[in-house]
Structure 1
Amino acid sequence: MDNKTDPSRKPAKPAPKSRDERLKAALKANLQRRKAQARARTTSDESDDGKDE
């Protein structure tokens, strides 16, 4: 019943070894997320242009 100790379950990615590597990975993920949000905003803004008039 306790899945936490199941040896067959492995993490999706190996954890970065150092603090710098963890920070680098976090910054990269944050940048990708922000770029995706900006792209979504620009596409929604472009589709709304004709509706205001």
Structure 2
Amino acid sequence: MTGQDDKSTREERLAAKLRENLRRRKAQTRALDSRTLDSRETGEDGLPKEGDDS
């Protein structure tokens, strides 16, 4: 392999990893957003109420 081939292969690998990372972060954000939306709809904030012994 020449230096140019190594560079392009490395750039392709990095681009693929960046795309994978972006997809994962978007999925995490969607999951957090939907969980936040669900708690707003039910009126729950995820915290126990004072005096609740459950």
Give the match for residue 33 of structure 1. Answer: 17
The answer to which structure has the higher helix fraction is 2
Query: CA shift at 1:49, angstroms?
Result: 0.5
- Structure 1, unaligned runs of 5 or more: 1-16
Query: How many pairs are equivalent?
Result: 37
Largest Rg, 1 or 2: 2
Question: Structure 1 length normalisation: TM-score?
Answer: 0.64
- In structure 2, runs of 5+ residues without a counterpart are 41-54
Report the equivalent of 1:49.
33
